[in-house]
Structure 1
Amino acid sequence: MPLNSFHKKIILKNRLAFLFVLLFVYVLLFEFILPINKFLPKPSLLIETFPALFSDYNLLAEMTITTTIVYLSIAIGYFFVWIFSYQFSKLISKNIGLFNNLRLFKNFPAFFFAILFAFWFGSSIIAELLFASAISTFFIVLSFMQIATNVPSEYLDSGRSLGLTGKELHKNVTWKYSLPFIFNELHRLHYYLWVLILIYEFIGSSNGFGGVYNLALSYNDLSAIIMLGIIIALLIWLGNSIIDFIEKKLVFWKV
């Protein structure tokens, strides 16, 4: 059941209150009570680390690389499926077994594909973008195929009664019916891609957030590792907010 704006505000307030309590406990314990340890750094040290990430780790350039690859690959996958959605719809209607066979690849662990692709093509930025685009396209294709096989017959019959056939029927019924589901899956893909790209960059010591993580780990820089996690979490949250905004513009009929 969709949440109304009032319930969303309550949830947001509860989350902010929870985060504030966690922050208060963290500052109290690790800044004033507990000694320096290997679990969490002092809050003051964490704050000092933030500007150091940009000067010592060249974070701005590395952040630009990773975020560009993640969101460009999502855009490539979405527009590819949008352009060829009619062909995919026809293909799945004639060969449902193909869809079931392709779904088997979703059972493989995420890091398997990152390691395999890095082994094949190395750690260049172009190879990283190709890898992310391939994963994104495959994920969105499977998501579309899954919903395209379950369009209610009454929707299709209503479209035909209005004289829609072929591509017009697909454009106005099948594709629009699938959009809410696709955007729900985009949130999963969004997080999935972040994990895969970080793994890909980490194991290849390449440019990007993953490469910075690799370097910070080699220096035993706990503060940098924690601060990177906070920055990435904020970027993922911002990305989800952008996806929600685009969904509201494109899927304006969604309840």
Structure 2
Amino acid sequence: MRIAVLEDEPNQMEYLVHTLEHQLALGDENVSCVTFERGEALRRALRRETFDLLVLDWNVPDLDGVDLLHWLRQYQQSETPVIMLSSRSSQNDVANALGIGADDYLVKPLRPLELAARIRRLLQRNRPAVSKAQERYGNWVFDRPSSSISVEENGEKQRFELTKREFRLALALFRKLGQAVSRAYLMESMGHDGELTTRALDSQIYRLRAKLGLYAARGLRLQTVYGQGYRLETTDDNIPDDAAPAA
């Protein structure tokens, strides 16, 4: 999981990163924080990078958290979850941030367990789970313990056995269905630890596309997005971009 943190006070930034990277118990999923001291720097990054969550401080230099949030929702049409942090506690300030598009609002000083719990709840709400071990996107079911994917088509069920890296790569793409995803995001999702090159990622994408049959005939298309990364998109109404939780 990749989190962008906007905070201009060094001690508070260190505290936030430590909390996010050590308190978030999300199984074997890596948690990586990318830090920003200025709103404009984060806005530039958001034009080309991909994040699972934004943690925004209200009061930062040049472009504050609320103005950045307004730009994100109004002009980027982004639905990336956002948690707003601030020492402001008035009802008007909280209502303003939530009205612009924040998913949650926390008043400083922060309590680490509460912050972690709110983030887990927010992310779970945005991930269509079949159970704690599985996620479903349309007729594609991801089973984390076995690193396998099952898909049912025309009454027949097919199962794909994947390596852990292949599974994490596929899951990252399906979680961002319909969205352009940066190469950096995909490499971090795979848990590359710095040794995976962009060329190696491209090879992994090529093999995964062939292995899962991610072509238009199957209702999915995995495309290269020039200058950014890849986008998995649907060509079939049976696989909605905003796949809902399975019953």
TM over 0.5: no
Greater Rg, structure 1 or structure 2? 1
Give the alignment's TM-score, normalised by structure 1.
Answer: 0.23
TM-score (norm: length of structure 2): 0.24
Higher RCO by CA contacts (8 Å cutoff, separation 6 or greater): 1
Structure number having the greater helix percentage = 1
More strand by percentage: 2
